């Protein structure tokens, strides 16, 4: 009897804590476009993570529950899709804190990852500092950056309707990024 492969699970992580976040809206839109239920999981614990301290990340010692939950969700995901704003030319502190907690656990080692740069400015350099930092940090963790799934889209806050991206061309770009990441993950799962 053929063994059915489990569907690819993608964890979606917004770098913004703002309730009306454009970046979170982009990920919510991707969820609404997903080709099936249960494939996508939006991480909701960014604001619950304690400040990263190596003293609190020692092998064999208990982790804060929010950190344990983060590592459980990362371990269960086949891939991770990020969407973060830029603050003062760099990553938001709370999101960098999230990334710092991923270094010691090793859950993102060789994990396919990608990001959507959803800056509101139609400038090719918009939010470049944040995304250069994200690339560098993910490189340290040993994640596999799936270049074909990393996209830049222009999403003005005023274009959102009920917290979702409604422009068809934009929605198509978002879906293509997701599909590129899923296809990469599925391809890796098929390799012995």
Ligand X SMILES: Cc1cc2nc3c(=O)[nH]c(=O)nc-3n(C[C@H](O)[C@H](O)[C@H](O)COP(=O)(O)O)c2cc1C
Q: Which is nearer to ligand X, 67 or 174 (CB)?
A: 174
**Cβ-contact 71, 80 below 8 angstroms:** no
Q: Which is nearer to ligand X, 88 or 191 (CB)?
A: 88
Beta bridge pairs of residue 14: 83
Q: Which is nearer to ligand X, 18 or 110 (CB)?
A: 18
Q: Which is nearer to ligand X, 1 or 88 (CB)?
A: 88
* Farthest CA pair distance, the chain: 56
> At its nearest, how many Å lie between ligand X and the CB of residue 9?
24
Q: Which is nearer to ligand X, 79 or 85 (CB)?
A: 85
CA atoms of 80 and 109, how far apart (whole Å): 12
> At its nearest, how many Å lie between ligand X and the CB of residue 127?
5
> At its nearest, how many Å lie between ligand X and the CB of residue 86?
4
Chain contacts with ligand X (rule: CB under 6 A): 16, 18, 21-23, 85-89, 119-120, 126-127
> At its nearest, how many Å lie between ligand X and the CB of residue 129?
7
- Tokens for 71, please give them: 């590592």
155 burial type by CB count under 10 A (0-12 exposed, 13-18 middle, 19+ buried)? buried
> At its nearest, how many Å lie between ligand X and the CB of residue 28?
11
Match 């569907």 to its residue by tokens.
7
User: What Rg value do the Cα atoms of the chain yield, rounded?
Assistant: 16
């Amino acid at each position: 009897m053929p063994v059915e492969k489990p569907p690819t699970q993608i964890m979606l992580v917004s770098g913004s804590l703002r309730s009306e976040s454009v970046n979170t809206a982009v990920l919510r839109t991707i969820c609404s476009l997903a080709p099936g239920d249960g494939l996508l999981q939006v991480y909701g614990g960014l604001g619950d993570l304690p400040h990263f301290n190596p003293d609190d990340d020692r092998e064999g010692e208990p982790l804060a529950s929010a950190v344990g939950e983060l590592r459980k969700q990362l371990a269960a995901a086949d891939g991770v899709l990020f969407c973060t704003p830029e603050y003062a030319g760099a990553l938001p502190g709370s999101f960098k804190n999230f990334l710092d907690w991923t270094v010691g656990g090793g859950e993102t080692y060789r994990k396919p990852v990608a990001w959507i740069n959803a800056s509101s400015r139609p400038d090719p350099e918009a939010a470049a500092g944040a995304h250069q930092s994200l690339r560098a940090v993910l490189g340290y963790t040993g994640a596999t950056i799936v270049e074909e799934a990393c996209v830049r889209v222009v999403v003005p806050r005023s274009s959102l309707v009920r917290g979702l991206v409604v422009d068809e061309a934009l929605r198509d770009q978002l879906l293509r990024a997701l599909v590129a990441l899923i296809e990469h993950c599925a391809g890796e799962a098929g390799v012995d």
